[in-house]
Chain A
Amino acid sequence: MSTPSHISIRNLSVHYGLGHKVLGERLVVKAIDDVSLDIPKGSFFGLVGESGSGKTTLGRAILKAAPITSGHVRYNDGEAEFDIANIGKAELKDYRKRAQLIFQDPYAALSPRMTVRDIIAEPLEVMGLTSSRDETDERVREIAAKCRLNLEHLRRFPHAFSGGQRQRISIARALVCQPKFIVADESVAALDVSIQADILNLLRTLQEDMDITFLFISHDLSVVAHTCDQVAVMYLGSIVETAPSRELFSTPRHPYTKALLSAIPSLDPDDRGRAQKLEGEIPSPANVPSGCRFHTRCPIAKDNCRVDAPAWRELAPEHMVACHYADETVAAAPL
């Protein structure tokens, strides 16, 4: 690949022990199970999958906010490099400035008793990044303007703001220490379509202006298609397909990706019920199916899928998939 990786993940697992035993064996939740992934520097990288597939856990593991059971996460922004699984205390402090999270819920994330100025300034103060109040104010004003918040806004409390404005406040807060890498976890999910479009445009502009790499987590595929350069599809703790965004949406190869795409409700009222529906729900990550983990819901599963885990292979340049029958799925219409 031409662009260097900003984040390079190798055989990463995040497992949680579930306290109780079943038939003498301790149950283990495999939230992330042997994932390898490269996030190119400067990309807007999308991560999609159903609820419970492990998207948040993957984002948190990269940010050193979920326990890494095994494997590696390497971070390299050109100025600094970190081995996240083995990062030391002093390094972690530096890393926290460089890698930030934007929360999902603009209502819950902001403290009601702080002014917007104080909310945005807090990371600078906690990390001791500025030496005077004037300098802090300067930095806050600068980033607030980028996020289209004016001076008057800064004096107010968050309850006086609409959902879209609150989301802009949390974005300003995440960006104020000039991070190089951002995990945006369902950052537009709670917003209605018009505010959503506004925030997505803002994120893309900021990414270009400030040269940030984004990991954009979302369960809305149309949003991801419009915003991201590359996309990884996650299912039950594992990545099943990655491709440049256009390619993934025009020629999805994994049956799971296809099912996700066809479940998007069509805007055409005369086109009802056309979607090929995925039956059932995602299995428990404490009890991952054998072979290909998607076989229990897969419309094209054959006998060997129950037994053999599919290899991770490249079907087209930068288009990777884990499915025994991905070649056959091309013949069928994409949607």
Chain B
Amino acid sequence: MTQPLISVENLSIKFHTDEGLITAVDKISFDIAPGEVLGLVGESGSGKSVTAKALMQLNSSNTVYTDDSRITLQTDDGTIDILELKKAKELNLIRGGAISMIFQEPMASFAPAITVGKQMVEQLMLHSSMTKKEAREHAIDMLDRVGISDAARRFDQHAFEFSGGMRQRAMIAMALSTKPKLLIADEPTTALDVTIQAQVIDLMKDLVEEFGMAILFITHDLGVIAQTADRVAVMYLGELVETGSVRQVIREPAHPYTQGLLNALPKLEKLDEPLTPVPGDIPSPLERPSGCVFHTRCSQFIEGTCDASIPSVTALADGHAAACFVVDQAVRGKTEVPA
């Protein structure tokens, strides 16, 4: 096994709020290998964005990472313990350097008053030894590579002069220009038309091949995951409930929540079947259910078990695992020799 590029262990994220300390992410662990695309899915509020932001320490100042939380990044200069970084200078080396992030709303990535090109050049000069002239050439080349025609002229324009699809491309160009080892893409296509979305997905795939970088791809669209990810992690109320290869998770979802998400998806080849939502609403992080956090909405809930204790992770097949009592009992039933 190759050494993971980034390794997240026991990550817990809490926030100080008016209503007290709330738990947004609870002891999650996952790795991303170099060049791997990990898809992170889950309902709104499940903790996808705060997890992603933790990888660059981008969460707001009311954030608490518990003491045993660890995020380690392998770089050419050795191992970096990201949550231990304190100085802005050290953090800025990671942000936009080894790790880049693209956001759902592209305007959030661009300063409104300066041109797209100037912003790209500033970032390049911060993270490389390029001269201004080299940085300019490289930035124009990147804009060109993401399919922005007339890149030299576009370089001198502001983001608001771009169309939605072009902004998304420019943001990707900027995020990739420093050749990051890890790209975090937080819902990069949710706001886009299917046509532009298809173009952006193609573009990202090409770039993975060309630059060999890893991607943490966050979305609630399982179709987009099926088209882009190597592995998938499913999150619910701050916990990882299932992980596996994209084929395992999409074809043989084990956790009832993953099954629910797949069932809720409108499918063009099944127009006669009614849409079946996961019943109920995601609980507030202030009222985390006891036992398995999903038990309040689970169709396979076992009374006295699921509401009483926390399920541990059950390994199903190579790299496929789920945290669920029902799954665990099924696996045991298969392997235990009947008395």
B198 partner, pick from A160, A249, A275, beta carbons under 8 A: A275
Q: Which residues of A contact B291 (CB under 8 A)?
A: none
CB of B16 within 8 Å of the partner chain = no
Given A264-B223, A269-B247, the answer on whether A197 and B195 have CB atoms closer than 8 Å is no
A201 touches B201 (CB 8 A): no
Q: Interface residue count for A (Cβ, 8 Å)?
A: 45
Residues of A within 8 A of B246 (CB): 269
Give the size category of B's interface with A.
35 or more
Cα(A266)–Cα(B251), bound, Å: 13
Partner of A226 from the list B164, B271, B277, B278 (CB cut-off 8 Å) is B271
CB closest residue in chain B, given A270 = B247
A267-B195 contact in complex given A162-B281, A193-B261, A197-B266, C-beta closer than 8 Å: no
Q: Is there contact, CB below 8 Å, between A194 and B163? A: no
Contact of A197 among B222, B250, B268, B276 (CB under 8 A): B276
B58 to chain A, nearest CB (A): 21
Q: Nearest CB to that of A264 among chain B residues?
A: B194
CB < 8 Å: which of A163, A201, A220, A259 contacts B195?
A259
A226-B266, A281-B165 in contact; A50/B278 too (CB < 8 A)?
A: no
- List, in ascending order, chain A residues with CB within 8 A of B196's CB: 50-51, 281
CA distance A222 to B192 in the complex (A): 15
Which A residues between 199 and 224 are near B, CB-CB below 8 angstroms?
Answer: 200-201, 219-223
Contact of B198 with A265 in the complex, beta carbons under 8 Å? yes
Shortest C-beta distance, A2 to chain B (Å), equals 23
Chain B interface residues toward A at CB < 8 A = 43-45, 163-166, 192-199, 201-202, 205, 220-224, 226-227, 229, 246-247, 250-251, 260-262, 264-268, 271, 274-278, 281-282, 284
- B275 adjacent to A268 (CB under 8 Å): no
Q: Are A267 and B267 in contact, CB atoms less than 8 angstroms apart?
A: yes
User: Which single member of B193, B226, B264 contacts A269 (CB below 8 Å)?
Assistant: B226
Residue with the greatest number of chain B CB neighbours at <10 A, chosen from A191, A194, A198, A221: A194
Is B227 within 8 A of A272, CB to CB?
A: yes
The answer, yes or no, to whether A154 is at the interface (CB within 8 Å) is: no
Query: Across the interface, which residues of B come within 8 angstroms of A219, CB to CB?
Result: 193-194
Assuming the A-B contacts A51-B193, A197-B266, are A249 and B271 also in contact, with contact meaning beta carbons closer than 8 angstroms in the complex?
Answer: yes
Q: Indicate if the CB atoms of A281 and B194 lie closer than 8 Å.
A: no
